[in-house]
Amino acid sequence: MFGMVPYSRRNSNVAKRDDWFGLDRFFEDFFRDPLFERMSALATPIRADIKENEKEYVVEAELPGVNKEDIIIDLDNDVLTLGADIKSETDNENNGYIYKERQTGSYRRSFHVPNIDNEGVQAAYKDGLLTITLPKAEPEKRSRKIQIQ
């Protein structure tokens, strides 16, 4: 019973007819590698929740370890863009050892949020959590009476 393995194409000895060089298996194995999964998780470091009620949208974004000055918030044409530009440098010299390290990174994430009152938008950042309140505006009425000539 302990030797039972669930069936998958990867564990099967049957090869696909159009896979002469084993490329399909190579790519399947590559993208299932645990290292690749961790790297893809780091590719979108801004995790966010969006809540909606009658009066407003509330966006809560996780930005742990980011300084308030490095956060970028932009609202343009109903698109909210959150971002962070991270730069850090470490210099340590101790007992003849020199340790220098530099890290830079830039992250962006955008959301479509229609009918926002741009003047009433507020943001707060505390303990790695960015909270943005986006009050809703009245939707523009684009109807009119058309006279027949």
Residue 128 within a domain: yes
Residue 15 within a domain: no
Residue 88 within a domain: yes
Residue 1 within a domain: no
Residue 75 within a domain: yes
Residue 63 within a domain: yes
CB burial string 98-136: b at 16+ within 10 A, e below: eeeeeeeeebebebebeebeeeebeeebeeeebebebeb
Q: pLDDT tens, 34-66?
A: 655 544 444 556 889 999 999 999 999 998 888
Tell me the backbone φ, ψ of residue 23, rounded to 5 degrees.
-70, -40
How confident is the model at residue 107, as a pLDDT?
85
Lowest-pLDDT range of 29-43, 92-106, 114-128: 29-43
Tokens 């194409």 -> residue: 9
Total domains in the fold of the chain: 1
Q: pLDDT tens, 57-95?
A: 999 999 888 889 999 999 998 899 999 888 878 888 888
Containing structural domain, residue 93: 46-139
Residue 25 within a domain: no
**What is this structure's pTM?**
0.60
Angle at 45 between CA 40 and CA 47, to 5 degrees: 115
Residue 16 within a domain: no
Amino acid at 146: I
Confidence grade of residue 121 (pLDDT, cut at 50, 70, 90): very high
How confident is the model at residue 40, as a pLDDT?
47
Q: What is the CATH number of the domain that holds 78?
A: 2.60.40.790
